[in-house]
Amino acid sequence: MTVLKLLSRTKLYWGLIAIFLIGVLGSPMSSKGNNIFLSYGNLLDVLRQVSTTGLIATGMTAVIITGGIDLSVGSLMAICSVVCAMLLTVPGVTPGVVLGVPTVALVALCLGFVVTRFIFQNLAKSRAGADLLREIKLDGIRGLVTPAVVGVVLCCLSLWFLLPQIEPKFGVLGVLLVAPCVGLLFGALNGFIIVAGRLQPFIVTLAVMVTALGIARLTAGQNNAVLPVYTGSNATADFEILRSLVFGIIPMPGLFFLGAILIYGAVLRFTPFGRYVYAIGGNEEAARLSGIAAGRVKIATYAVSGLLAGIAAVLYVAQYRQGKPDAGAGLELDAIAAVVIGGTSLMGGRGSLVGTFCGVLIFGLLSNILQLHNINSNLQLVLKGMIIIGTVLVQERNAGDLLAYLRLPGGQSAHKETAAAKRPSQETPSLNLGGNKK
């Protein structure tokens, strides 16, 4: 029984190992007799290709754990790719500058204010020995004046850094600052509307997806379906660093992806913020009654999702040497699929970034295997869809129910076990509030 439980808990890793072994055993051979799938270049390409989806899936994981969804990340990546390409290639005041530079100033102002106030509040809690969930009122200096001053200073520093780059065109650090801030602003807007308007995340993010797509097209201009980026020609040669191999071992996009997984994973695992995320996904009303600022936490998760979409956009421009309004079309579905394959429940409250990392790799390895065998692209979509459904059935432990419903062998016993497991939670005792005796 212990072995079965261990296998059940590690089934995701066994699935990843199985996909890898299928790739190794079924790989075509090169003219020199080498296994193409196992070649260092092919595995590097897999990591490079999954990095964009992986960054978006990283932010999507926390959103889904809270019980939400973010359909706008593909469009946010598109608008950020347009802004990035325009800043790199077009000098002077452009729509990209008009959208990007004020956004950075606003984000710097708000972040400086919020982070400083957060630090003062936690210092006051630690001195008072108060519960971390309890709000402590700050005086005017620590609660308003000092945070505002810090925000204004950060805003001025960001403008001091960005304004001199407008005329000669932006460099690598400039676009790595502007594009993620644009994504962060739209992501925070998602969260704010969801929380303040008490609306369903599906509807809000769908509306923002359409809006961001329109803004991306307006920013690019009607005659610019694609904004080409040629490093060393119409863009700075330093931008090529985002395509390079770090120490000749790992591609730069892969480094961003792994860094995001490690940092955000540590935040979700070891900080109060992470515990709040899981608590909200498990029972938002209970979390709110226990003193958790559920609205702020949800806004933060959507903001981080937008931030990572902006970073993914910069890497997209570096890899494909272009920015375009439809750059992230359908990418939100790939990210959601990878998160769900990784074991994160769409109902919220359960999931991890380790699982998301495995889900992204499974998705990437599967695509690579199908491409190596020259499988028709339409058939690839069919196979991916079937695998997603099968994986979710296994993750949610509903495969036995499906077999029983279809009256297939092996389904009855699994169905009985599932029903037995669910029965105690369904048979809740009745409360005799009126005091009548039967």
pLDDT value at residue 79:
94
64 pLDDT band (50/70/90 cuts)?
very high
pLDDT value at residue 430:
40
- Is residue 205 a contact partner of residue 71, using CB atoms and an 8 Å limit? yes
Query: At residue 4, does pLDDT exceed 80?
Result: no
In DSSP notation, 169-233 reads: ---HHHHHHHHHHHHHHHHHHHHHHHHHHT--HHHHHHHHHHHHHHHHHHHH-TT-S-EE--BTT
What's the whole-number average pLDDT of the chain?
84
pLDDT tens, 394-411?
A: 666 555 565 566 665 555
Q: How many CB atoms lie within 10 A of CB 86?
A: 25
- Is residue 184 a contact partner of residue 306, using CB atoms and an 8 Å limit? yes
pLDDT tens, 7-38?
A: 666 777 777 888 889 888 888 887 787 888 88
Which residue would you say has higher pLDDT here, 234 or 307? Answer: 307
pLDDT value at residue 132:
56
Average pLDDT (320-341) is 88
Query: At residue 109, does pLDDT exceed 60?
Result: yes
Which residue would you say has higher pLDDT here, 430 or 142? Answer: 142
pLDDT tens, 146-205?
A: 989 999 999 999 999 999 999 888 999 999 999 999 999 999 999 999 999 999 999 999
pLDDT tens, 347-387?
A: 888 889 999 999 999 888 988 888 888 888 788 888 878 87
